[in-house]
Amino acid sequence: MEIIEYQDKYIEDVKDLMVELEEYIVSIDKDNLDHVSKEYREKYVDYMLQDVADNNGKIYIAIQNNKAIGLVCGIIVKYNNWDKLDYKCPKTGCVTELIINKNSRANGVGKKLLEKIEEYFKSLGCEYVNLNVFAYNESAINFYTKNDYHARMHTLIKKLNKY
């Protein structure tokens, strides 16, 4: 297995990985808010690539047998004038996606991808890395905790009406 920077020849594998992740999120969503739209497979990767281009980001993929089996995507956080009113705004990288296909998990691939994006952020002078994890994704929370990440914010929701 090797970690390389994203190449367009792996776009179909990347689309498969992103759909696998979103379908998993849907399956554990106790609020039933997530879904995989018909356009998701074709449009989400384009959005991700544009986000990387617009925010000095990178995508690294794990390749095994000439197939992408995992990916990590990260961008540099942009702050606005409102942020600067009550926050120190250190240079921060943000992991926006990390997915390993279900047949390749628990083999250290995720850790290697996370380390690779962290190296990239360090090379740009980032002081911190942040990321969001779906609250019901306990395996991801455990993974990040084992890799020295901790909670700083919590998003709380309340359903008001039945539909």
Structural domain includes residue 160: no
Structural domain includes residue 151: no
Per-residue model confidence as pLDDT tens digits over 65-117: 999 999 999 999 888 888 877 878 788 899 999 999 988 887 899 999 999 99
Average pLDDT, the chain: 91
Which amino acid would we find at residue 42?
E
- Please state the pTM of the whole predicted model: 0.90
Contacts of residue 43, Cβ cutoff 8 Å, sequence gap at least 6: none
Q: What is the CATH number of the domain that holds 81?
A: 3.40.630.30
Quick check: 63 and 113 in contact, CB under 8 A? no
Strands (E), 65-111: 67-76, 92-100
Domain with 64 in it: 2-146
Instruction: Say whether 151 sits in a helix, a strand or coil.
Output: coil
Structural domain includes residue 130: yes
Residue labelled with tokens 């009550």: 86
